[in-house]
Structure 1
Amino acid sequence: MTVGFVMMCHTALDRAAQVARYWASNGAPIVIHVDKRVNRPDYTAMVRALADLPNISFSPRFKCEWGTFSLVAATQAASEQILAMHASVRHVFLASGSCLPLRPLKELTDYLDAHPYTDFIESVTTADVEWTVGGKDFERFTLRFPFSWKRQRRLFDRYTELQRRVGLKRKIPDGLIPHLGSQWWCLTRQTLSAILQDPKRPRYDRYFNRVWIPDESYFQTLARLYTTSIESRSLTLSKFDIQGKPHIFYDDHLQLLRRSDCFVARKIWPKAGRLYATFLTPHPDREQQAAPNPAKIDRLFAKAAERRAKGRPGLYMQSRFPLKDRENGKTPTPYSMFQGFTDLFENFDGWLTKYTGAQVHGHLFGPTHAEFSNGETIATGGLSNVATLRDYNPRAFLTNLIWNNRGERQCFMFSPRDTQAINWFTATDPNAQISVISGAWALPLFRSNQDFSAIRRDAARLQQIEIDHLAILRTMYVKARVRIWTLAEFIENPMEHLQTILNEINPATARALAEVPRMVDLTGFGQFLQNLKNQGMQPRLMGDFSATHDRWPNIPRQERPYLIK
C-alpha cells in the first residue's frame, strides 16, 4: 500500500469512523487523533466501533485549539506513529474527521504511484498569499502569539499591538523561508520523516510554538527544506468564504463535488446522508476520472464569495445591513419619480399607465397614507399604506416596494407636501429617474378656496421645501437621471418633454405621442403669482408668468382631446 491516512477528528465521530472504515477496508492504514476535549464515552465508542480493523490505530490525544501549536503537535505524533507502524506507506495523507473521499482509494493510489517522489502540499510565500483573512501575513512569523485568539482575544490584540509599538521582532531561524498553505497535505515518507527526525526540530518547534496559526505554515515551510519534488497544491478540495471560514458541503452539492475530480473534500455536513451514501458505496463499473482539477468549480465559488460579500442589488437583510453608501445597488431595477405632474395634469397616472405599461402609484409618501396603484391598501410584499408604518423607515419602504415588484417598472408621484426623507436616497440611486416641474405645487393653492394669508404661508413653506430638494438634485453626488423644468418652461411644449420621459422609461417600445393628458386651467395663474408678490412672498420656481396675460402651451385646451377613458 502506497498511502496511509492521518485523521484529525474533533466532532461527528460517527461520520469520521464511517470514512475511516471505508479507507481501512480497502487496505489503507489509518492513524486517528481525537481531540482531547472530546468526552471519554464518545472517544471510547469510536475506538470500539473500529476495533475489528487491525490497520486502524489511535494516537496520543492532545487538546487542540484553533490557531495554536497544539494542532501541529497532534499531527506530529500521529505521523510518527503511522511511519513507525506501517513501513509500506510511501505517502501520508492528512485528513480531517469531516473529510469525505470522492473517488475510490485505488484511483488515489494509482495517482500517487505515478508520482512516487512528489509532495502535494500548498506552499507559497507570504508575498503571494491573497487568501489570508485578518491580516498578519508576515507578522505571524516575526511577532509572538502566546495568547489564544478565540479565548483571550483582548490579550491577543493588546499584546500584538504592544509588540508593534515597541518594535519587538522575532528572528526567523536560519535557513527558513516562511511559507503558507492549506493544512491538508499529502507528503512522501522521505519528506515527512526528514521533518520529524531533523536534529533542529526542537528549535523549529520552539519557534513555531509562538507563530500564529502554525498548522498553515509549519509543514508548508519545512517541506521546502527536504522535498525533491513538490507540487504546491492540495489533493483535498477545501473552499473558504470571504471571512476565511470553510464552505460546508451539503447533499445538494453532489454534482458539484463530482465535477471537481478531487480525491477528498472537506468540510462535509455530518447530516449529508446522500453524500456519504453516494461516495462511500463501491461502483465497480465506474470510469476512471481525470486528474484532480478543482479549478473547474472555482468560478461557482468565486460567484458565491462575491454574492456573500456584496449581496444582491437592492436586497437588504437585517442580519447583514450594509453601511451607508456601500450597498451593492440601492435598488434592484430602474424606477421613476414624478414631481409636479399631478398638479399640472388631470389623471396623469392613468395616462402614464396607458403609455408605459408600468405600475403607477400615486403619492407613495403622501402626508396621510401611501397611495398604491389601483387604490390598494396592501402592496406586494405585505407593505401597508399606513403612514406611521411607512415613515418609520421610508427608505426601507421604497426599497421593499421596488424589490418585490422588480419584474415591473415602478413609477410614483412626489410633491413638497410629501415626506422628504427619501430625497438623498433617490438622488444618489443610479436606478432612479427623477422628473421635476418646479413650482407646480402652486397650482393646487391657486385653485383652493382658502384665505389668501393661509395660501401665502403655505406657498412660502412649500417653496422652501422644493428649493431644498432641488439643491440636493443639483449636487455633485447625484447619480440619478434628473430632469428639472420650471412650470413656465414645461407648459411651453409639454408634448416634447413627455415624449423624452417616455422614451427613457421604455426605449424599446417608444412611439410618438398621439395625445397628452389634459392640463389644468391656468387662466389667472399669472395674476395669482403677482398677488403673492404683492403680499410679500416672492415666487421663485415657476418661471416667467406675466400678470397681464397668461402663457399657454402650444396645444390649445379643447373640450375632449387628450382625455383618457
Structure 2
Amino acid sequence: MSFGVVILVHTALGRAAQVIRHWARSGCPVVVHVDAAMKPARYARFRAQFDDLSDQVLFCERHRCEWGGWGIVAATRSGAALLLERFPDLGHVYLASGACVPLRPVAELDAYLRDRPGTDFIESARVAHVPWTVGGLSEERFTLRFPFSWKRQRWLFDRYVALQRRLGVRRRLPEGLEPHIGSQWWCLSAATLRAILSDPQRPALDRYFRRVWIPDESYFQSLARRWSGRIESRSLTMCKFDFQGKPHLFYDDHLPLLRRSDCFVARKIWPRAEAIYAQMEAGGHPAGVAEPAPARIDRVFAEATERRVRGRAGLYMQSRLPHEGWENGFTAAPYGVLEGFAELYEGFGPWFAKASGATVHGHVFAPEGAEFEDGAPIWRGALAAAPELRDHNAQRFLTNLIWNGRAGRQVFQFGPRDSQFVSWDIAKDPNARIGVISGAWAVPLFASGLPVARLKDEAARLQRVEADHLEALRSPHAKARVRVWTLAEFLETPDEALARILADIAPGRTGPLPAPPALRPLEGFGRFLQEMRNQGMHPYLTGDVPAEPPAPRQPAPRPYIVRPHG
C-alpha cells in the first residue's frame, strides 16, 4: 500500500474500531491517536482489540484534544511522526477521524495516490480571500492570542479578546510565514510531511500556533505552502458544513448522495448509520477511475441550507421563531383586509365572497372572538375562535390563518373595535391588500339609536385607535398595498371604490362587477355627526359628511350654437 492513515479517535469507539480494522484489512498501516481525556481503563480495553494487528495498527503518544485548541495539532503530529518512522516507504499520509468512513474501495484511493506522487491534497486558502469564517474570528485568529478555551472558558475568552482589541495588540508572525486556513482533513505526501515535521523554525512556529485560534485549521495548511512542490487545494474527505459552520451529520438516507459524489471518504457519519457502515464492510461502492466530485451534491445541501435558514414563506420553525426578521416572509400568501365595508353594507361578506371567489371571514380579531367563515367555532389547523387563545399570540394566529388557507385567497374584516395586536404586522406585510373606509365605525354608533352624549366617548376612543392604525399604514416601513377613503369620499362613488378594492384582492376576476349589496340606511347620519361636533367630539376621520343631504343637482342646459343665415 502506498499510503498510511492517521486516525484521531474521540468517541463512538465501536464504530472507530470497525473503521480502523477496515483500513488495516485493506493493507494500510494505521496509527491511532486516542484523546487523553479518555480514562486509562477504557483506553486499555480499546487498544487491546487490536492485539491481533499489532504490526499494522499502532498507537501514538496521547494528547488532550479540545475544540479550537493546540492538542489536535499535537495529536496529528505525533501520529504522523510515528507512521513515517515505522513505515518509511509510504508515499502519502491520510488524516482521518474515527467518524470518517471510506465510501469507495481502498484500492481505488491507493491507485489514485500512486498516479499523483508528490501531490498534496490539502485545502489551503488565504483567510482574507474566503468567506468561510462563520460566527467567529477571521484574520484576528492570527494576530491575537488565545490562551483560554472557547468552550470551557467563554467569559475569559471573550474578555481577553476585547482587551487585546482595546490595547491594539498585534502579534508578529514568524519570519516567512503566510497564514492559510482550510479543512483539517488532508492527505499530504510523505516528503512534504517530513519537511513540516523537521522545519528548522519549528520551535518558533509551535510557540506561535499554540496561541492561534483553531490551529488545526491553519498549522498544516500554512506550512504546506512553505514545503509543498504541488498543492491541490482540496480535501479528499467530503465534509459538508451548515450555515453555522458545523459539520453535517450523514445518515443512511444520505447514502445515494454519498455514492453520487464519488468521494473516497466522508465524515461525519452517524454511528447508527447501518447501511453506510455495511457498504464499507462490503468493500465500498466502486467508481473506477472517477474523480471525486463533491460539487455534484452541493445543490442539495445548498437547498437544505436555504430551507433551514429561510424556510417556506409564512411557515415558522423553532430555529427561526425567536429571531424577529429571520422569517422568509411574514405570511404564506396574499390576503385581503377590509376595514369599514361590513359596517356600511348589509350582507357584505357573502357578496364579496361571491364576487371575488375568496374565503371571506368576519372580524377575526373581534373582542368577542374570531368570526370565521360561516360562523365556524374552529377553522382549519385547529384555530379556535376563543379570544383568549387568539390574543395569546395574535401574530402567530394570523400567520396560521393565512398558512392554513394558502391554497386560496382569504379576506377578513378589521376595524378599531378589534384587537390591534396585528396592526403593525399587516401594515408591514407585502402580502396584505388593505382597503380602509376611515370613519365607518361611526355608522354602527349611529344605528344604535342611543343619544350622542352617551356615544361621544366611545366615538373618540374608536377614532383614536383608527388614527394610530392609519399612521402605521402610512408609515415608511409599511409594505402592504393600501387604499384609504374617508367615509365621505367613499359615499360619493361607492361602486367605483368597490371595483378598485375587488381588483386589488382578486386580480384574476373577470366579468362585470356584480350588483353591490344595499347600503345601510343613513338618513340623518350627517346630523348625527354634526351633533357629535356640537358636543365637542370632532369626527374628522369621516371626512366632510354634510349635516343635511345636498339638494339634487339640476341638469345643466345643453349648449347650443346660433348659426347666422346668409
Instruction: Say whether the fold is shared (TM-score over 0.5).
Output: yes
Q: What is the one-letter code of the residue matched to 2:514?
A: A
Kept after mapping to 1: 8 A contact 2:123/2:234: yes
Provide the C-alpha distance between the structure 2 equivalents of 1:113 and 1:205, rounded to a whole number of angstroms: 32
Q: CA deviation at 1:325?
A: 4.3
Q: Identify the residue that residue 46 of structure 1 maps to in structure 2.
A: 46
Structure 2 stretches of 5 or more lacking a match? 553-566
* Preserved contact between residue 524 and residue 550 of structure 1 (Cα < 8 Å): no
Which stretch shifts more, 261-270 or 195-204? 195-204
Q: Where does residue 237 of structure 2 map in the other structure?
A: 236
Deviations along 1:412-471, one digit per CA (max 9) or x if unpaired, are 101111111211111011111111011111111111132321122222221222122112
CA contact 1:499–1:512 (8 Å) conserved in 2: no
Contact 1:369/1:386, CA 8 A, preserved across alignment: yes
Instruction: Count matched residues.
Output: 551
Does residue 91 of structure 2 align to residue 90 of structure 1? yes
TM-score, L = length of structure 2? 0.93
Is 1:174 paired with 2:168? no
Partner of 2:309: 309
Write the deviation string for residues 43-77 of structure 1: whole angstroms up to 9, x where unpaired: 33332333323421221221111111111011001
- Residue 481, structure 1, aligned to residue 481, structure 2: yes
CA distance in 1, matches of 2:319, 2:413: 32
1:56 equivalent in structure 2? 57
Q: Distance in 1 between matches of 2:256 and 2:355?
A: 47
- Paired residues of 1:377 and 1:385 also in contact (CA < 8 A): yes
Alignment partner, residue 387 of structure 1 = 387
Match of 1:129 in 2: 130
Aligned pairs for 1:403-422 within 5 A:
403-422=403-422
Of 531-540 and 206-215, the range deviating more from structure 2: 531-540
Who is 2:261 aligned against?
A: 260
Residues 42/501 of structure 1: CA separation in 2 closer, same or farther (3 Å cut) = farther
Residue 315 of structure 1, CA deviation:
2.6
Report the residue type matching 1:181 in the other structure. Answer: G
Query: In structure 1, what is the Cα distance between the partners aligned to 2:417 and 2:102?
Result: 66
RMSD of aligned C-alpha atoms? Answer: 1.9
Aligned counterpart, 1:204: 205
Which residue identity lines up with residue 428 of structure 2 in the other structure? T
113-122 or 373-382, which deviates more: 373-382
> What 5-or-longer segments of structure 1 have no aligned partner?
553-565
Corresponding residue number in structure 1 for 2:491: 491
* Secondary structure of 1:498's aligned partner: helix
Measure the CA separation in 1 of the matches of 2:186 and 2:503: 61
Alignment correspondent of 1:361 = 361
Q: Call closer, same or farther: CA 1:376–1:187 in 2, change over 3 Å.
A: same
- The answer (yes or no) to whether the contact 1:126–1:137 under 8 Å persists in 2 is yes
Say whether the 8 Å CA contact 2:362–2:412 is kept in structure 1: yes
Tell whether 2:11 aligns with 1:11: yes
> Over residues 523-565 of structure 1, what are the superposed CA-to-partner deviations in whole Å (9 max), with x where a residue is unaligned?
222222222223332221223322222699xxxxxxxxxxxxx
The answer to whether the 8 Å contact 1:331/1:402 transfers is yes
Q: Deviations over 1:226-255 (max 9, x none)?
A: 111001111111111222111111111111
* CA pair 283-173 structure 1, distance change in 2 beyond 3 A: closer
Cα gap change, 1:551 to 1:425, in 2 (>3 Å): farther
- Matched residues in 1 for 2:551 and 2:311: separation? 51
1:163 aligned counterpart, secondary structure: helix
Is the 1:343–1:440 contact (alpha carbons within 8 Å) kept by the matching residues of 2?
A: yes
Counterpart in 2 of 1:435?
435
- Measure, in 2, the Cα distance between the counterparts of 1:152 and 1:457: 61
Tell me the alpha carbon deviations over residues 257-301 of structure 1, each in whole angstroms, 9 at most, x when there is no partner: 1121211111111111122113432369x4526211111222222
1:319 Cα offset (Å)? 5.2
CA distance in 2, matches of 1:85, 1:325: 57
Is the aligned partner of 1:183 residue 2:207?
no
Structure 2 residue 270 is the aligned partner of structure 1 residue 293: no
Percent identity among equivalent residues? 56
- Tell me, in whole angstroms, the C-alpha distance in 2 between the residues paired with 1:270 and 1:35: 18
Cα pair 1:365 1:419 within 8 Å, conserved: yes
Aligned to 1:117: 118
Distance in 2 of aligned mates of 1:61 and 1:510:
78
Over 3 Å counting, the alpha-carbon distance change for 1:283 and 1:428 in structure 2 is closer
Select between 6-15 and 374-383 the one with higher mean Cα deviation.
374-383
Cα distance in 1, alignment partners of residues 224 and 59 from structure 2: 25
The CA distance in 2 between the partners of 1:88 and 1:512, in whole Å, is: 88
Amino acid at match of 1:426: I
CA contact (8 A) 2:104 2:287 kept: no
- For 1:559, the equivalent position in structure 2 comes to none
Post-superposition shift, 1:307? Answer: 3.0
The secondary structure found in structure 1 opposite 2:540 is coil
Deviations 1:384-411 (A, max 9, x none): 2111222222212212222233223221
In the alignment, the residues of structure 1 paired with residue 506 and residue 143 of structure 2 have an alpha-carbon distance, to the nearest angstrom, of 61
Q: State the partner residue of 1:226.
A: 227
Summarize the Cα distance change of 1:40–1:353 in structure 2 as closer, same or farther, 3 Å threshold.
Answer: farther
Q: Matched residues in 2 for 1:278 and 1:207: separation?
A: 43
Letter in 1 for 2:115: A
SS of match in other structure, 1:177: coil
The whole-number CA distance in structure 1 between the counterparts of 2:431 and 2:478 is 11
User: How much does 1:11 deviate?
Assistant: 0.5
CA distance in 2: counterparts of 1:356 and 1:106, whole angstroms: 68
The separation in 2 between residues aligned to 1:250 and 1:9, in whole angstroms, is 20
Kindly state the Cα deviation for residue 500 of structure 1 after the two structures are TM-superposed: 2.2
State the partner residue of 2:564.
none
Q: CA deviation at 1:322?
A: 4.4
Paired with 1:2 and 1:51, the residues of 2 have a C-alpha distance of 24
In 2, Cα distance between the equivalents of 1:512 and 1:111? 73
Question: What is residue 561 of structure 1 aligned with on the other side?
Answer: none
Q: Which residue of 1 aligns with 2:282?
A: 281
